[in-house]
């Protein structure tokens, strides 16, 4: 008789697919929040598995800051074509032009926080009652507080002290009109789990995750990508370095890792040996001790 061994990756996959199918069962108009980063890519891949051979029954919602890495936008467009999925794009630049948000000024100006209003506008405009995100509990302490099914009030806000209990695999998606849920199917995954799963399933990834030469500059110990909209201090001089992304966000807040990892195996080895946390170089998290929690309370991802 053939042995059947289930690995921890198989268990994580089963749990996530169960959560995604619960979303399909409990909500009328869900969407997948897709950034082009590894977590939203894995979540979309799991959604594909959950409903195969049918298409994913949810649209992908991408909030474009106008300052994204081109590699992630190219990957997004190719994936949408491959899946035959519907893509909805919320534009931060459009929100700025309409006066919905005000662009920050100064050396540390970022459009990262401005995504919140654009995201909430897109949710309201499209009447989404559930948005699945690729957040994981091991990423950051505020994300560790999130339940699988996380309630948002009619203003899109999150109250971490008033969340519903989740007993075993019983998820409560009840809500009042105008409210919605954020659901995190890969909450229990770690960064290492994600990369091991990508290797196991041979999931294509954006080239920006692998080592490449890029013009960067160092600010307070963090390597940031040079770009026309990045305002440099007099002491900052862009130079060519061999880098890769470990986590991907807006260019203005994404710290790059000096690395020679050029394959999935080398990335896994690098993560296993590093002493720096995944989001340790994200400028948006360094603004204050509670930066992520404050953003999430206002409706951020």
Of all residues in the chain, the percent with pLDDT exceeding 90 is 74
Report pLDDT for 34: 96
Start-to-end CA distance of the chain, whole Å, equals 47
Six-digit token pair at 291?
């930066």
Confidence of residue 298 (pLDDT cuts 50, 70, 90): confident
Class of residue 176 by CB neighbours under 10 A (exposed 0-12, middle 13-18, buried 19+): exposed
**CB of 122 within 8 A of CB of 161?**
no
Report pLDDT for 284: 65
pLDDT tops 80 at residue 176: yes
Specify the range with the lowest mean pLDDT, choosing from 34-43, 148-157, 259-268, 272-281: 272-281
pLDDT tops 90 at residue 226: yes
Strand partners, 224: 217
Confidence of residue 9 (pLDDT cuts 50, 70, 90): very high
**Chain centroid to CA 183: how far?**
12
pTM: 0.92
Residue 247, classed as helix, strand or coil, is coil
Beta-sheet strand order (sheet of 30-33): 87-91, 60-64, 30-33, 130-132, 180-183, 149-152
Specify the range with the lowest mean pLDDT, choosing from 1-5, 73-77, 79-83, 226-230: 1-5
pLDDT tops 90 at residue 107: no
pLDDT, average across residues 268-285: 79
Q: Which long-range contacts (CB under 8 A, 24 or more apart) does 94-99 make?
A: 94/118, 95/121
Specify the range with the lowest mean pLDDT, choosing from 62-66, 104-108, 122-126, 187-191: 104-108
Q: What is the pLDDT of residues 110-123, one digit of tens each?
A: 888 889 999 999 99
**CB of 111 within 8 A of CB of 65?**
yes
The overall average pLDDT reported for the chain is 92
Q: What is the pLDDT of residues 94-103, one digit of tens each?
A: 999 999 999 9
Q: How far apart are CA 182 and CA 35, in angstroms?
A: 15
- The most confident of the ranges 63-72, 136-145, 286-295 is 63-72
Buried b (16+ CB within 10 A) or exposed e, 141-170: ebbeebbbbbbbeeebebeeeeeeeeeeee
Of 160, 184, 176, 139, which is closest to residue 23 (Cα–Cα)?
A: 184
| Residue located via tokens 């894995």 | 42
- Backbone φ and ψ of 245, nearest 5°: -90, 140
Report pLDDT for 286: 63
pLDDT tops 90 at residue 169: no
pLDDT, average across residues 182-197: 96
Specify the range with the lowest mean pLDDT, choosing from 28-37, 118-127, 156-165, 218-227: 156-165
pLDDT, average across residues 41-45: 97
Confidence of residue 41 (pLDDT cuts 50, 70, 90): very high
Label each residue of 177-204 as H, E or C.
CCCEEEECCCCCCCHHHHHHHHHHHCCC
- Backbone φ and ψ of 203, nearest 5°: -85, 125
């Amino acid at each position: 008789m053939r042995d059947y061994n289930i690995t921890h990756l198989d268990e994580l996959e089963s749990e996530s697919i169960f959560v995604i199918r619960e979303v399909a069962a409990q909500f009328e108009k869900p969407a997948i929040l897709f950034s082009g980063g590894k977590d939203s890519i894995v979540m979309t891949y799991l959604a594909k598995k959950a409903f195969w051979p049918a298409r994913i029954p949810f649209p992908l919602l991408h909030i474009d800051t106008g300052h994204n890495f081109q590699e992630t936008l190219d990957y997004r467009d190719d994936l949408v074509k491959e899946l035959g999925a519907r893509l909805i794009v919320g534009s931060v630049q459009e929100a700025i032009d309409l006066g919905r948000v005000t662009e920050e000024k100064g050396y540390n100006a970022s459009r990262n926080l401005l995504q919140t209003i654009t995201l909430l506008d897109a949710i309201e405009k499209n009447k989404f009652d559930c948005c699945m995100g690729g957040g994981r509990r091991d990423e950051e302490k505020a994300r560790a507080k999130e339940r699988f099914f996380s309630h948002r009030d009619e203003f899109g806000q999150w109250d971490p002290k008033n969340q519903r209990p989740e007993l075993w695999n019983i998820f409560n998606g009840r809500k009042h009109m105008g409210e919605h849920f954020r659901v995190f199917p890969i909450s229990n995954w770690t960064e290492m789990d994600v990369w091991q799963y990508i290797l196991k399933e041979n999931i294509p990834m954006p080239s920006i995750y692998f080592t490449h030469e890029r013009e960067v500059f160092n600010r307070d110990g963090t390597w940031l990508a040079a770009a026309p909209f990045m305002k440099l201090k007099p002491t900052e001089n862009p130079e060519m370095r061999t880098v890769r992304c470990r986590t991907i966000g807006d260019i203005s807040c994404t710290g790059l890792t000096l690395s020679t990892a050029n394959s999935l195996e080398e990335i896994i080895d690098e993560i296993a040996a590093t002493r720096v946390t995944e989001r340790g170089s994200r400028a948006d998290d360094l603004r204050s001790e509670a930066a992520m929690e404050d953003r999430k309370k206002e409706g951020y991802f």
